[in-house]
C-alpha cells in the first residue's frame, strides 16, 4: 500500500516518507471587467420587473428585461 504526501496527496514509493519538493507559484488574480452600459440598464430593468412580478420565472423576466433594455437604450 503506497504512502501519500500530506501536502499534495501524491503517492510516495517505499515505506519511508520521502521528501517531495513543492514549488509554489504565484497565482495571477483574475480581474473582473466593469459592467457595460447595457449591463447596468438591464440590471435596472430586471429589478423593476422583479418587483412587479416576484413569482415569475427568471427566463420570462430576463426576456422582458432584455426587450425593455433595448427599448430604453434606443432613446
What would the pLDDT profile of 25-46 be if each residue is shown by its tens digit? 888 899 999 999 999 999 999 9
Residue 11 has a pLDDT of 78
Number of domains within the chain: 1
Full-model pTM: 0.60
Q: Is residue 57 part of a domain?
A: yes
Q: Is residue 22 part of a domain?
A: no
Q: Is residue 65 part of a domain?
A: yes
Q: Is residue 9 part of a domain?
A: no
pLDDT mean over 38-61: 98
Q: Is residue 44 part of a domain?
A: yes
Q: By three-state DSSP, how is residue 45 classified?
A: helix
Counting residues of the chain whose pLDDT is more than 90, the rounded percentage is: 61
Q: Pick the closest to residue 41 from 64, 66, 60 (CA basis).
A: 66
pLDDT mean over 9-36: 77
Q: Is residue 2 part of a domain?
A: no
Grid cell, residue 8, equals 499534495
Sign of CA dihedral 35, 43, 56, 74: negative
The boundaries of the domain holding residue 55 are: 34-75
Q: Is residue 20 part of a domain?
A: no
Amino acid at each position: 500500500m503506497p504512502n501519500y504526501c500530506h501536502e499534495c496527496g501524491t503517492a510516495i514509493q517505499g515505506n519511508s516518507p520521502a521528501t517531495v519538493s513543492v514549488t509554489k507559484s504565484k497565482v495571477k488574480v483574475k480581474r473582473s471587467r466593469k459592467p457595460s452600459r447595457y449591463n447596468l440598464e438591464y440590471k435596472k430593468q430586471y429589478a423593476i420587473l422583479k418587483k412587479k412580478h416576484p413569482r415569475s420565472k427568471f427566463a420570462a423576466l430576463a426576456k422582458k428585461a432584455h426587450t425593455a433594455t433595448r427599448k430604453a437604450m434606443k432613446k
